[in-house]
Structure 1
Amino acid sequence: MNSTTMDTPAGPLTIIVSESGAVRGAGFTAQVEAVLAVVHPTLRGPVRSRPELGAVTDAVRSYLDGDLTAIDAVPVEQHTGGAFMTHAWQVLRRVKSGEPLTYTGFAELAGRPLAVRAAAAACARNAAALFVPCHRVLRTDGSLGGYRWGLEVKKWLLGHERH
């Protein structure tokens, strides 16, 4: 696997990709170990630091420059062992920037309207922050809720996507 850490207005973004270029982990930290810790154990391996990750770092730069759809086509590889979690992550990837939804709305969109806790768990267990945009899910009252990489990062991302 390869990794890089990019400077962003929200702070450092560390990305870990497979040999084929699929994102296995991403988080707003400069610590590769912190991102690797959220990657499913079956997808972990030795990580080599690289200055660039080709199409992945290009997509992040484009996203930061205002092309909010640039990260949508970046391949992501996550594993949970659960069908709902995998489905929920796929659904999250279809949530459009600038159109956040509530955990209840996310559960409905994922086809399980009563599974609000499971929807929240999908956000909490998401290893590929930004690429699987769990930051676009809010509490029912519209407040930010939680975010593994900090509420200031979530706030910045949502603000960036409103423009």
Structure 2
Amino acid sequence: MSTATWATIATPIAPFTAVVDADGAVLASGWTDSLDDLLPQVHLSLRPTELVEGDIGPVADAIVRYHDGDLSAINDVAVRQRSGEFLQHAWEVLRTVPAGAPVTYAEFAAKSGRPAAVRAAASACARNAAALFVPCHRVLRTGGTLGGFRWGVEVKRKLIAHES
């Protein structure tokens, strides 16, 4: 049996919920107040059997600090996601995209070592369970348009503006 703790934190953008494993790693997160929006994104092998609402410790602190303007507060938060080799690698690469310097899907694919795999790079963003900590919002369409975002284009617009 595995237990994870979750909490919803009010932010200037929208309510933000994070599900955190017993060792402090983020399993899922996003701008929502519903666990039903988050849990389906967690790989079955990582999905907790029990969820308790409570103190998510340093993760909560990082969420608040990020939204208050400390854009680096999220950088060292542990994240746990599972998928195939390319997605795992792509999520690691996303964590290297600096705040205020978004990349295009084509640039992200190239940084991930597969320049022709633009659709796979977009899929890595779409399947990212740990939004904010794996900053898929920092990937834009060619030409700088926002493209899609699980938490809504308006949230993505606010995040890009916050990081500029």
Give the TM-score taking structure 1 as reference length.
0.96
Q: Name 2:100's counterpart in structure 1.
A: 98
How far apart in 1 are the matches of 2:120 and 2:91? 11
* Structure 1 residue 38: Cα displacement: 1.1
1:19-63 per-position Cα deviation (integer Å, ceiling 9, x unaligned): 00100000111001211111111111221111x311101111111
4, 7, 13: which one aligns with 2:7 = 4
Which residue, out of 19, 26, 29, partners 2:22? 19
Q: Please name the residue that 2:72 is paired with.
A: 69
Partner of 1:133 in structure 2? 135
4+ long deviations beyond 6 Å: none
Match of 2:44 among 38, 41, 44: 41
Aligned-residue sequence identity (percent) comes to 54
In structure 2, how many angstroms separate the alpha carbons of the residues matched to 1:73 and 1:138?
Answer: 23
Q: Show structure 2 runs of 5+ residues with no match.
A: none
In structure 2, how many angstroms separate the alpha carbons of the residues matched to 1:66 and 1:10? 12
Tell me which moved more, 36-45 or 11-20: 36-45
**Runs of 5+ in structure 1 lacking a partner?**
none
The DSSP-based 3-state class of the residue aligned with 1:121 is: helix
Aligned with 1:54 (options 54, 57, 67): 57
Aligned mates of 1:61, 1:12 — CA distance in 2: 11
CA RMSD of aligned residues (A): 0.7
**Selected match of 1:85 from 87, 93, 109:** 87
